[in-house]
Structure 1
Amino acid sequence: MTPPIIAAAGPLLSRYEVVFCDVWGVMHNGRKAYAEAGAALVRFRAEGGTVILVSNAPVPAAGVERVLEKTGVRRDAWDAIVSSGDIALGHIAEKGYRRMHWVGPSKRDYALYVRLQAPSAALSEADAIVCTGLVDDRNETVADYRALIEEGVARALPFVCANPDLVVDVGAVQLVCAGSIATEYERLGGEVFWAGKPHPVAYETALARAAELRGSTPGLSRILAIGDAVRTDLAAAQGLGVDGLFIAAGIHRGEVLADSEIDPARLAALFDPPGTPAAIAAMTHLRW
């Protein structure tokens, strides 16, 4: 079902107590903050709302906050951050994995890797694989990891995907993420733990954090999820049973925008296929 297009989110936001908001594609584009999005969440908080940023970034919350600061997102726009990196680290600790084979740029994602108990183990000696992304996401593709995937599946190694996104926009460039490797690993029969949206652990963690901050668990009808990705953000909202607001200028911008505005026919083409997660409304950028 095609969501209605709105120009201002203020009247919609006023119906909710809690917002679960995506970061990359809603709050910033990887290089620069969307100022109106930050201002909208500041106003929502000023009226008594609670904002939980829910990011599929493969680093702990402190790393997400550093990127928010670097891109210029205002600090008073959120109450707490739930990150895939923290979820992945929690899962690794719970399972007791000690010898992890690392897949990803260890310098970029140092904040996660430094929290593991040991350096990267050879695949032949590993208990599991942890993946934060492609080592060189500007030049590599999933095909470059085919041998690793096949060996890991053959050895029945659990695969911890610390970023379930398939791709991410960095400015005008779209880069492949860890979720693309994990998808192929799972397709070949491997066991994958998905440490983020659209899987239940992400919004369940956000719900628990909102309950801590507010002193009680908010009703699902009082929660709005905001995101730019149908596959992750809106699917996670549907899975928890909360409303979702679609931001069109993010990952799907090439599919739904024309002259920087939402094209109704293109929006319908994105949302009308059977099984597509629904949105209560759509807007180009988040603004009050």
Structure 2
Amino acid sequence: MMSRCSIVPSPNEVQLFHSLSGIQRLAETHRFKAWFLDQFGVLHDGKQPYPGAVDTLEKLASKGARMVIISNSSRRASITMEKMKNLGFDPSLFVGAITSGELTHQYLQRRDDAWFATLGRSCIHMTWSDRGAISLEGLGLQVVNNVEEAEFILAHGTEAIGRSSGSTQCMKLEDLEKILELCATKRIPMVVANPDFVTVEARALRVMPGTLASRYEELGGEVKWMGKPGKIIYEEAMKMAGVNAADVIAVGDSFHHDIKGANEAGIESAFISCGIHARELGLNSFGEVADTSHVQALAAKFDARPSYVLPAFIW
């Protein structure tokens, strides 16, 4: 069933979204040639696929949709596709994947962008430990631990600091923030390879690099955000799928990153309520339908306008 509900009434305009129980009717209209799908909070929770997600993806593919994973993951695209395969998704159903980590790697490698061309080669590397450190192979970078030697900060994760030996040292979030305070006094720039603030992992929320980047901006630091809600990742995905903005719908669970990013890229969007905002929306179980007024309040809070709202990525 499809209905229209108001999101953010204003004196001059009432913005609307469609409420859907699943994507079937939307897919069968063939309205969109390409579907840009977030992974965490939409297709899986980091540990297992959401109920119905694998089947829904296969049915969507059967309708001729070109599907691209568009993710703020700090991992390379190839690793993302391997993870999808291990979770039970068929990689051949996707045109490909574009991740924040992939964009960051390419820009650091090519150095053909004016901003990246000014970066030095020595960096403080904030990375993962339990999840596995991010490789910097092929980038010609020197990882340093002394702020005085660093020319920029590279933020891939929130669990550890990289060592010049290639090993990592686990650190608490507050310890990483102390390093940022020292970096801010030196006014060195930061590249954040995952702009998410938090992500869904096994139904819990986990702090992501965007939290560090936001803190660094509060300290007066300069940050280059490599991913959603920035336009760059959407533009790369459109090139990959061979479409323009009018032919695309982006599906995601974050108002700030997925929906606002789609708004800024000029494409339509579908908000999945069972992801990172589930708790704020008062949802206690998968597939539970969010109260419209709660969705309206969050949309207003983030100044984000979804075209559609669904309880989950289900058919």
2:266 and 2:78 map into 1 onto residues whose CA distance is 28
Alignment partner of 1:284 is 2:311: yes
Task: Indicate the structure with greater strand content.
Answer: 2
Matches within 5 A, 1:83-122: 83-93=99-109, 94=111, 95-96=116-117, 97-105=120-128, 108-122=131-145
2:283 and 2:236 map into 1 onto residues whose CA distance is 36
- Picking from 60, 73, 76, the partner of 1:57 is 73
Following superposition, the deviation at residue 106 of structure 1 comes to 5.7
Task: Indicate the structure with greater helix content.
Answer: 1
Query: Do the aligned residues in 1 keep the contact of 2:121 with 2:142 (CA within 8 Å)?
Result: no
Alignment partner of 1:250 is 2:275: yes
Please name the residue that 1:28 is paired with.
44
In structure 1, runs of 5+ residues without a counterpart are: 212-217
Please name the residue that 2:260 is paired with.
235
Please name the residue that 1:9 is paired with.
23
Query: Do the aligned residues in 1 keep the contact of 2:127 with 2:133 (CA within 8 Å)?
Result: no
Max radius of gyration: which structure? 2
Please name the residue that 1:168 is paired with.
199
Please name the residue that 2:298 is paired with.
270
- Picking from 177, 202, 214, the partner of 1:183 is 214
Task: Please tell me the residue identity of whatever aligns with 1:239.
Answer: E
Query: Do the aligned residues in 2 keep the contact of 1:106 with 1:113 (CA within 8 Å)?
Result: no
Query: Do the aligned residues in 1 keep the contact of 2:54 with 2:88 (CA within 8 Å)?
Result: no
What is the number of equivalent residue pairs in this alignment?
Answer: 280
Aligned residue for 1:165, secondary structure, equals coil
Alignment partner of 1:42 is 2:48: no
Please name the residue that 1:132 is paired with.
156
Alignment partner of 1:224 is 2:249: yes
Deviation readout 1:125-176 (Å, 9 max, x if unpaired):
12211011212699833x3323211221222211010110001121032111
Query: Do the aligned residues in 2 keep the contact of 1:153 with 1:188 (CA within 8 Å)?
Result: yes
Alignment partner of 1:192 is 2:223: yes
Aligned residue for 1:150, secondary structure, equals helix
Q: CA 1:278/1:169 → structure 2, altered by over 3 Å: closer, same or farther? A: same
Task: Please tell me the residue identity of whatever aligns with 2:71.
Answer: S
2:36 and 2:23 map into 1 onto residues whose CA distance is 14
Alignment partner of 1:82 is 2:98: yes
Following superposition, the deviation at residue 188 of structure 1 comes to 1.7
Please name the residue that 2:10 is paired with.
none
In structure 2, runs of 5+ residues without a counterpart are: 1-5, 8-16, 162-169
Query: Do the aligned residues in 2 keep the contact of 1:26 with 1:228 (CA within 8 Å)?
Result: yes
1:73 and 1:99 map into 2 onto residues whose CA distance is 38
Query: Do the aligned residues in 2 keep the contact of 1:38 with 1:77 (CA within 8 Å)?
Result: no
Task: Please tell me the residue identity of whatever aligns with 2:298.
Answer: L
Query: Do the aligned residues in 2 keep the contact of 1:225 with 1:237 (CA within 8 Å)?
Result: yes
Percentage identity across paired residues of the two chains: 25
1:179 and 1:259 map into 2 onto residues whose CA distance is 26
Deviation readout 1:96-119 (Å, 9 max, x if unpaired):
542121112267454433343244
Task: Please tell me the residue identity of whatever aligns with 2:280.
Answer: E
1:255 and 1:105 map into 2 onto residues whose CA distance is 27
Query: Do the aligned residues in 2 keep the contact of 1:246 with 1:282 (CA within 8 Å)?
Result: yes
- Picking from 83, 86, 93, the partner of 1:67 is 83
